[in-house]
Amino acid sequence: MATTPSRPRTAAAAAAATKSSPPAAGSAEADAPGGSQHLPQVLQYYRSWESRLIYRFLGGTKHYGYFRPGDPSWDVWSAMRRMEDQLAQKLGLAAGAHALDAGCGVGDVASRLAEVHGLDVTGIDIQGPDIEEAQRRASRRQRSGRLQFQQMDYAALTFPDDSFDGAYTMETLVHSDRVEDVLAGLYRVLRPGGHLAHFEYSRSPKDRTSAHDEKFMTEINQMAAMPAFQRLEHGVLERLLTDAGFIDVQTEDVTAHMLPMLKLFATAGWLPYLVGAALGRSRLVVNSMAGVEFYVHRKCWRYNITTCRKPS
């Protein structure tokens, strides 16, 4: 495996110098569904050239993979499917159950749960083009009967009460600036006894983080539109789930199982990050920056699987 990359020293200054202006009125970002002031930032991040390049390389879906001892670190695609299988296992739903994918992107995670695990999945996302692509992929795979996709903000769900047997987020809750609204909505649309799973990050408490590490966390979370990551210190999501009414809240730290993929991203992203920082354009290579910095500062955060259920 490649050696651990070092971090460019000019990141902080470059990031501070490249703050972007808000989107113009009438732009696609400004007209994002759901009405949140934060949604344009999320759309801007996902629609950046670097994000699109990474998504194309990974087949349209980006989330971390699950590596077992001995698994080759270069085979990120098999690892991603294993992480999706972990999701199915943690949800614990029987074949034919109806699950909600909150932040589905182009629908590949939902498709895996339908094809391999027999679930009926409704996927929602704020990006209209991704929903259209998800519908095309479901049709090509002849799974359109088990899969449905629609454009919707997961902080403003319009489904009737008690609509789903299970729900999940796969590295999407970190992009929310309305976590309490998201959890309240998921609680409402789950049937009594319904299961919820979050595959998300948490961070070290601010009072246990050095000023240098806190600066890096703040910069990346701002540039990558991840306000929830900034506030979800270890244990906070669990408390918010309990406050929302969920029970049997459990968290498993699986950071060690996804680090090989992060190290691969860090190694690949070191040069673009170095060049971007030198040119004062770190924001244009925020994914490379995040890959390098999160690997260097891997003691400051965790990758968790958090599960719970709505009382019967």
Q: Tokens at residue 15, please?
A: 């990031």
Percentage of the chain surpassing pLDDT 70?
Answer: 81
DSSP symbols for 246-259 = -EEEEEEE-HHHHH
Q: What is the C-alpha separation between 58 and 63, in angstroms, rounded?
A: 9
Q: What is the pLDDT of residues 129-138, one digit of tens each?
A: 999 999 999 9
Region 264-283: what's the mean pLDDT?
A: 87
Region 65-87: what's the mean pLDDT?
A: 96
Residue 136 phi/psi, 5-degree rounding, is -65, -45
Q: Tell me whether residue 171 is one of the annotated catalytic residues.
A: yes
* The pLDDT of residue 10 is above 60: no
pLDDT at position 51, please?
63
> CB atoms < 10 A from the CB of 223, how many?
24
> CB atoms < 10 A from the CB of 181, how many?
17
pLDDT at position 22, please?
37
> pLDDT grade, residue 36 (50/70/90)?
low
Q: Which residue has the higher pLDDT, 14 or 113?
A: 113
**What b/e readout covers 267-289, taking b as 16+ CB neighbours within 10 angstroms?**
bbbbebbbebbeeeebbbbbbbb
Q: What is the pLDDT of residues 144-188, one digit of tens each?
A: 578 999 999 999 999 999 999 999 999 999 999 999 999 999 999
Percentage of the chain surpassing pLDDT 90?
Answer: 62
Report pTM: 0.83
Identify which of 161, 166, 226 has the alpha carbon closest to the alpha carbon of residue 200: 226
pLDDT at position 286, please?
84
pLDDT at position 46, please?
62
Locus of tokens 């609680």: 187
| Cα angle, residue 299 at apex, residues 196 and 241 outer, rounded to 5° | 20
Q: Which of 171, 219, 233, 238 is catalytic?
A: 171
DSSP symbols for 1-66 = -PPPPPPPTTHHHHHHHTPPPPPPTTSTTTT-TT--TTHHHHHHHHTSHHHHHHHHHTTS------
pLDDT at position 242, please?
98
Q: How far is CA 226 from the centre of its chain?
A: 9
Answer for the pair 165, 93: CB distance below 8 angstroms, yes or no.
yes
Share the mean pLDDT of the chain.
85
> pLDDT grade, residue 52 (50/70/90)?
low
Distances in whole angstroms, Cα of residue 245 to Cα of each of 163, 180, 241: 17, 11, 7
- Rg of the chain's alpha carbons, rounded to an integer? 19
Q: Helix 255-278 to helix 76-91 angle, to the nearest 10 degrees?
A: 130
DSSP annotation of 233: B
pLDDT at position 280, please?
85
> pLDDT grade, residue 58 (50/70/90)?
low
* The pLDDT of residue 18 is above 70: no
pLDDT at position 55, please?
56
Cα of first residue to Cα of last residue in the chain, in angstroms, is: 48
* The pLDDT of residue 31 is above 90: no
Domain ranges of the chain: 11-309
Q: Which residue has the higher pLDDT, 119 or 37?
A: 119
Write the single-letter amino acid at 66. Y
pLDDT at position 49, please?
56
What strand order describes the sheet that includes 301-309? 147-151, 120-125, 98-102, 164-170, 190-203, 301-309, 247-253
* The pLDDT of residue 7 is above 60: no
> pLDDT grade, residue 14 (50/70/90)?
very low
Q: What is the pLDDT of residues 191-233, one digit of tens each?
A: 999 999 999 999 999 988 889 889 888 988 888 889 999 999 9
Q: Tokens at residue 281, please?
A: 């354009």
CATH code of the region 11-309: 3.40.50.150
Would strands 98-102 and 164-170 be described as parallel, antiparallel, or unpaired? parallel
